[in-house]
Amino acid sequence: MRIAVAGKGGAGKTTISATLARTLARSGKRVLAIDGDPNPNLGTALGVDPEVLRDPPRVPRNAADEVVDDAGRKQRVLKPEFKDFRAEYAVTAPDGVMLVHMTRVDHAGTG
Amino acid sequence: MRGVASALLGVENEVNLLDMEASIEHLARGTPGGVDCMLVVVEPYYRAMETAGRIVPLARELGIGRVLGIANKLRDGEDARAIRDYCAAKGLELAIEIPFDEAVRAADRRGRALIDEAPDSATARAVAELARQLH
């Protein structure tokens, strides 16, 4: 099952995503949580140790390829060399939830 | 970056869950193509509902079969009515209604997970109900 959580900033996406991820993991599901926000805080909401989140590994921007599926739609897939991305990039959250972070888009003159 | 999020969402697994960034422009570009279910979190404020109202048709255009609304931070019956009316007008099915919940703010302040801090909170219970609906 692939679930995307959307909505206006501040509406509660992250709390709901984290609570849903943990709840599904407790019911025995293998859960991968993806923080799609450039300013990530899903890890905190999942209950990951802040020390781990200070500088978490981030999946490189070039990890995906574009392919066209049978229906002619463009889809993104992980490049074969990132098949084992969990080992290198995932942080383990309570209840066994695996969490991955994206690479930040850095803007000149900020930070 | 968005392509990577989309690719990760597509990896072989039991449950992949993407907490999307706030802006919806990437939706227009078709990021979450292979999504089974999109949850749209809506607060009872005009701009939040308006954002949801833009997300829903885009999600449908992308061919996402199940688009569910989640009403959040409802303070009273009027809030609930406002969201129900809006969602009915947009044809968005509401999966759960979550009341305004002090436990969420308290967990946030402490930088802790809600499910650890307040497993019996209204929000945690509503999300458990949501998880049952998703099965």
- To the nearest whole Å, the CA of B4 is away from the closest chain A CA by 5
The secondary structure of A31-95, three-state, reads EEEEECCCCCCHHHHHCCCHHHHCCCCEECHHHEEEEECCCCCEEEEECHHHCCHHHHHCEECHH
pLDDT at A84 over 60: yes
Asked whether the whole model's pTM tops 0.90, one would answer yes
| Chain A residues whose beta carbon lies within 8 Å of the beta carbon of residue B134 | 1, 3, 24
Long-range contacts of B101-107 (CB under 8 A, 24+ apart): B101/B73, B104/A12, B104/A15, B107/A15
Question: Across the interface, do B41 and A85 touch by the CB < 8 Å criterion?
Answer: no
Look at A75 and B24 and tell me if their CB atoms are within 8 Å. no
Neighbours of A53 (CB within 10 A): 18
Provide, rounded to the nearest whole percent, the portion of chain A with pLDDT above 70: 94
Q: Residue A111's pLDDT is what?
A: 36
The ipTM assigned to this model is 0.94
Does A19 touch chain B if contact means CB atoms closer than 8 Å? yes
Residue B100: band (very low, low, confident or very high) from pLDDT cuts 50, 70, 90: very high
Instruction: Give me the mean pLDDT over the B40-46 stretch.
Output: 93
Chain B residue with Cα closest to A42: B19
| A109 CB within 8 Å of a chain B CB | no
Contact at CB, A44 and B11, closer than 8 angstroms: no
Cβ distance B17 to A105 less than 8 Å, yes or no, reads no
B102-132 confidence digits (pLDDT tens): 999 999 999 999 999 999 999 999 999 999 9
Contact at CB, B55 and A6, closer than 8 angstroms: yes
The mean predicted confidence, pLDDT, of chain A is: 89
* CB-based contacts of A9-12 (< 8 A; 24+ apart in sequence): A9/B22, A10/B22, A10/B43, A11/B41, A11/B42, A11/B43, A11/B48, A11/B51, A11/B72, A11/B73, A12/B41, A12/B43, A12/B70, A12/B72, A12/B73, A12/B98, A12/B104
> Mean pLDDT over residues B83-99, rounded?
95
Mean pLDDT of the B64-81 span: 95
Q: How far does A41 lie from chain B, in Å, by closest CA?
A: 10
Q: How many CA atoms lie within 13 A of B111 on its CB side?
A: 8
Contacts of B13 in chain A (CB under 8 A): 30-32
Find the mean pLDDT for residues A103-107: 65
Check CB contact of B130 with chain A, cutoff 8 Å.
yes
Q: Is-contact A31 A24, C-beta < 8 A?
A: yes
Average pLDDT over residues B86-104: 95
Residue A80 at interface with chain B, using a CB cutoff of 8 Å: no
